[in-house]
């Protein structure tokens, strides 16, 4: 049984969500004041709080229904990150043999870069170019982000893609807690979500 439900967190509740990438870094301060910094994670992991979007009893009922349908933390699902959901750039170089390439997004500046694997592209949003020429001779797996070409791109051909994507997340709580009074008093609902990584 798959642990992922290919459904999206209700979009009206996603808008206004707070959160973003988390990177755990171990920092050791030496006696001379210098620091040693190490990370135990190769990739960042995103956390969100989607409670801001819950503004009415109807919203809460929608959230409860979605939470129950996912059986709480058991099944992951798609989440639209309002601030980071588009990519446009290189995903590989042809070698004349490889037919399968992974969608990805590169975050870079003059000092460094990091490539994020994208596994949940939004259906219908992916466009692929070979050396700047659009191609449709391929298949896109919207559940893994894998692009499979009918024929392997020739050696040296630059493969680029533009697309929108979701984040695979699950609820990061066993219980949804709120009350009718909290809406009238301007109280906030806490709806923690955490990214589910399918790669190391």
Task: Give me 37's structure tokens.
Answer: 């910094």
Contact 49, 16 (CB under 8 A): no
SS3 content of the chain, % helix, strand, coil (to 5): 10, 40, 45
Q: What is the pTM of this model?
A: 0.88
Contact 169, 193 (CB under 8 A): yes
Segments of 9-85 assigned E as strands: 18-22, 25-29, 35-39, 45-49, 76-79
Q: Chain-wide mean pLDDT for the chain?
A: 90
* Listed range (47-56, 60-69, 103-112) with the worst mean pLDDT: 47-56
Burial of 166 (0-12, 13-18, 19+ CB in 10 A): buried
Return the pLDDT at 53.
Answer: 84
Each residue's pLDDT tens digit, 139-170: 999 999 999 999 999 999 999 999 999 999 99
Q: What angle do CA 96, 101, 103 make, to 5 degrees?
A: 150
Is residue 30 predicted with pLDDT exceeding 60?
yes
């Amino acid at each position: 049984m798959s642990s992922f439900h290919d459904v999206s967190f209700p979009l009206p509740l996603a808008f206004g969500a707070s959160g973003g990438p988390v990177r755990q870094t171990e920092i050791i301060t030496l006696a001379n004041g210098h620091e040693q910094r190490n990370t135990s994670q190769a990739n960042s992991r995103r956390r969100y709080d989607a409670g801001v979007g819950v503004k009415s009893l109807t919203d809460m009922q929608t959230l409860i229904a979605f939470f129950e349908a996912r059986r709480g933390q058991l099944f992951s699902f798609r989440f639209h990150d309002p601030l980071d959901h588009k990519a446009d750039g290189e995903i590989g170089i042809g070698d004349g043999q490889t037919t399968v390439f992974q969608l990805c997004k590169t975050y870079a500046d003059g000092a460094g870069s990091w490539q994020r694997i994208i596994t949940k592209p939004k259906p219908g949003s992916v466009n692929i170019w070979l050396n700047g020429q659009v191609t449709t001779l391929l298949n896109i797996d919207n559940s893994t982000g894998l692009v499979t070409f009918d024929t392997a791109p020739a050696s040296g051909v630059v493969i680029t893609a533009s697309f929108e994507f979701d984040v695979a997340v699950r609820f990061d709580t066993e219980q949804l807690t709120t009350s009718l009074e909290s809406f009238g008093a301007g109280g906030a609902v806490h709806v923690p979500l955490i990214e589910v990584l399918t790669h190391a």
